[in-house]
Structure 1
Amino acid sequence: MDPMIVFSILAFAWGACAGSFANVCIHRMPRGLSVVMPRSHCTSCGRLIPGWLNIPIVSYLMLGGKCRFCRARISVRYMLVELFTGQLFLAIFLKFSVSVLTLVYWLFALGLIIGSFVDFEHMIIPDRITIGGMVAGPILSLLVPGLHGTVSRYSAFCSSLIGLVAGAFFLLGVAMLGSFIFKKEAMGMGDVKLLGAIGAFLGWQSIPFVITVSSLVGSIVGISLILIGGRKLGSKMPFGPYIAIGALLWILGGQVVWAKYVMYFSP
């Protein structure tokens, strides 16, 4: 069998397993619980889930989306997160092949997935994701300068710090301006810290693209929900997931598209 096919299958499988761990984090982090102990268990009856019933995607389908012991329904979100994470890990592998960059971007993507789904469900982004990313970004930039398209550790570290500051302070300014105009909180600090973490990993060059894409996607989703009656004008909505979409698109080719866009409109 072609080694590329084998590696692709392994990348998807590893991503699905990472998605299973992400589900644990999504459930436990907002509740202040450990993501390590206790072992995976049914949130309804508390029974520990044996390994053979904890196979990503397969177990959910095999059990019909219900606990084997108490038959309580399990949210389809669990399977969807595993499936999406597997596909995302595969996409990153296909772009960066077998490399250290692939491993770093897998870690980065996993953090974005956890933060996004927690934001969807609880309207918060855990500090373990945002502040953790703001700390990990510069450290990994020193270790893997290729994150910033250079072989110089010093240049990569500086790019990471500038990206962190640019991302966080830009969105902080937007949040403060919005609060002044609308006389209420316009954006959560979790979003501010998330963009700072993204800047730390991807550099300041990614910030305009991420802001543009997240604003566009967020606006489309928000307007669509208002039109179909799923949300009222002025109601709160999570912005973190749309920031994450912008960051992931940047990794998977957005920087090339953005460079052509800027070049096209340059005088």
Structure 2
Amino acid sequence: MDFFDWYWILVVFLFGACWGSFLNVCIYRIPAELSVVKPRSRCPKCMTDLAWKDNIPILGWIFLRGKCRYCKAPVSARYPSIELLTALLFTAVWLVYPYQLIVLPYGLLIFGLIFGSMVDYDEMWIPDRVTIGGEIIGPILSFLIPAMHGVDSHMSGLIQSLIGLAVGFGSLYSVSIIGKLILKKDAMGFGDVKLMGCIGAFLGWESVIFIVFISSLLGTIIGVTFIAIGKKELQSKIPFGPYISLAAMIWMLGGWKLWALYLEWMSGTAY
């Protein structure tokens, strides 16, 4: 890679870190029904407004050694972790799809998936602005950027998005209905169903099969591990949104290649 390539990698990383900082605001304020614009960022303990240098993504927390400048109360490491995670994921998408317009909708989807996952982890629900919002924006972006679905025609992009939305929503909705009939209780939150519809709208119907399988596998492994070490009980509710989101990110960052290899192996055409 030349200097120009490294320049854009740095730009994308910093851009992602800034959006990660805004993500922290959204994760904290939106579930509490607070404005994400006003007031400005402040210490949750002493309520003192933070200086601009304290809000520098990642570095601000490091320079302050994880403590508020004013009251010295500890600041959770989750804040710089989310900023770093967002920056790394934005950069990874750029490296997989360099100089392609597809990085814009994928970056937006990553932002929504992290936001929805963290709220689901904290509150056990996924905001409609992520799920329903994604189901609305996904088809619009697919029409404008048909490359999201590997096609050239704007109308084909829209059709593929709508098919993905229907398959994504319908697949988990069917699972929730069947699970409720068998278990006599809700087997899956409706937020997960809507989230899968959102992801299908962005990534297409083929991604749905991969994501449902991988998220179920991850959820089972991690859930059983938590039960085994005593962190969870057998009847404990476990948020499924983060596993769906993680599987979707795997698909965006090359999981579709694994899926293609799997299909070749199943069809007997792999060498």
Q: TM over 0.5: same fold?
A: yes
The CA deviation string for residues 40-61 of structure 1, in whole angstroms up to 9 with x for no partner, is: 1222222221211100110111
The CA deviation string for residues 36-93 of structure 1, in whole angstroms up to 9 with x for no partner, is: 2222122222222121110011011111111112222211111110111111111011
Unaligned 5+ runs, structure 2: none
Query: What residue identity is the alignment partner of 2:231?
Result: G
How many residues are treated as equivalent by the alignment? 267
d(CA) in 1 for partners of 2:126, 2:80: 21
Paired residue for 1:54? 55
The Cα shift of 1:186 comes to 1.2
The Cα shift of 1:261 comes to 0.3
2:255 aligned counterpart, secondary structure: helix
Paired residue for 1:141? 142
Moved more, 42-51 or 55-64: 42-51
Moved more, 152-161 or 4-13: 4-13
Paired residue for 1:118? 119
Question: What does 1:150-229 correspond to in 2, within 5 Å?
Answer: 150-229=151-230
Identity %, equivalent residues: 49
Paired residue for 1:262? 263
d(CA) in 1 for partners of 2:184, 2:210: 28
d(CA) in 1 for partners of 2:31, 2:182: 30
The Cα shift of 1:266 comes to 2.3
d(CA) in 2 for partners of 1:109, 1:75: 22
The CA deviation string for residues 151-194 of structure 1, in whole angstroms up to 9 with x for no partner, is: 10111101111111111111011111112211222111110110
Paired residue for 2:14? 13
Paired residue for 2:74? 73
The CA deviation string for residues 101-159 of structure 1, in whole angstroms up to 9 with x for no partner, is: 11221111111111111111111111111111111100101111110101101111011
- TM-score if structure 1 supplies the norm length? 0.97
Paired residue for 1:63? 64
Query: What residue identity is the alignment partner of 1:231?
Result: K
Aligned CA-pair RMSD: 1.1
d(CA) in 1 for partners of 2:181, 2:38: 43
The Cα shift of 1:99 comes to 2.5
The Cα shift of 1:34 comes to 1.9
d(CA) in 2 for partners of 1:161, 1:128: 18
Query: What residue identity is the alignment partner of 2:133?
Result: G
Unaligned 5+ runs, structure 1: none
